[in-house]
Homo-oligomer: A and B are copies of this chain.
């Protein structure tokens, strides 16, 4: 039995997960946002609560930041002060000590990708590019069923592929990254620009991907243009990655993927024109299936895989 914990900017979610992936218990509470010690103690209690007296085989934790797997140290966690305060600690060792069983840590996008590969839209594929669309744009690279973390844990950071050298500045320090167009702020910025000078039913609504997609479905030209530009930009980034890595499957998750087939069809069409025909034909595109569950199930999978890997160390 494994425990998976998903540390978010607002909430801590947790689950007890059996070997076959079934969820046997859940937990959902506000996260200890400020102090590192409070967060560690909250994680310990959550494991205790979820495991119900017996000791888990292992614990996995997904965090909103890059984890250097060589040291189990965070490279930064901009949205959660409590986590940022722990950046010099070997978090896996610290947690292992507190929960008295092996603990493993990974980036939340990697955890979600592992979950989809295991039980969701990536099931059965030997290689998977999982894309997370939200405020940030991230992902996970899974090759032959294994997560590829790269040299220092950054693998999967596909949101910072430069798609437009003349584009807008990105928080990462570069310019015209995919995230500047495809991240939620990109949708909102573009819709705001366009509605300033054109007739659209987006005039008096709060701009967010859901309202923009709703208007686009009803034929609103401005909203359609925003959706098409997002899809084109994703097609550019994904087409390049598919050519370079020739994935068997590409799954689209994260909050924005709630836009569903309406968005997916456009992404697929734009990707198609930007990669080899053979590469496109050998890749299937799917919406993520696990929704909110991906975080905790993926964290449990991080634990399961981490433990299994020790057999071969």
Contacts and interface: CB of A to CB of B under 8 A. Distances in A.
Contact of A275 (B149, B174, B239, B248): B174
Contacts of A157: 243-244, 246, 276, 279
Interface stretch (A48-56, A98-106, A159-167, A200-208): A159-167
The size bracket of the interface on A is 35 or more
A260 interface: no
Interface string A136-177: 000101010000111111111110111001000000111000
B126 A151 contact: yes
Contacts of A246: 149-155, 157
A115 to B, nearest CB: 20
Contacts of A148: 143, 245
A236 B279 contact: no
A71 interface: no
A241 interface: yes
Please classify the interface of chain A as helix (H, G, I), strand (E, B), loop, or mixed, using the class held by over half of its residues.
loop
Interface string A117-140: 000000000110000000000010
A75 interface: yes
Contacts of A232: 165
Contacts of A173: 273, 277
A282 B239 contact: no
Contacts of A158: 240, 243-244
25 contacts: A66-B278, A126-B151, A127-B151, A143-B148, A148-B245, A149-B246, A150-B245, A151-B248, A152-B278, A152-B279, A153-B246, A154-B243, A154-B276, A155-B244, A155-B246, A156-B244, A157-B246, A160-B276, A161-B239, A162-B239, A172-B276, A173-B273, A174-B239, A174-B274, A245-B245
Given A161-B239, A161-B240, A162-B239, 18 more contacts: A141-B244, A141-B245, A143-B143, A151-B283, A152-B246, A154-B276, A155-B244, A155-B245, A155-B246, A157-B243, A157-B279, A158-B240, A161-B243, A161-B244, A162-B236, A174-B275, A237-B240, A241-B244
The 4 closest A-B pairs by CB, nearest first: A150-B246, A161-B240, A154-B246, A155-B246
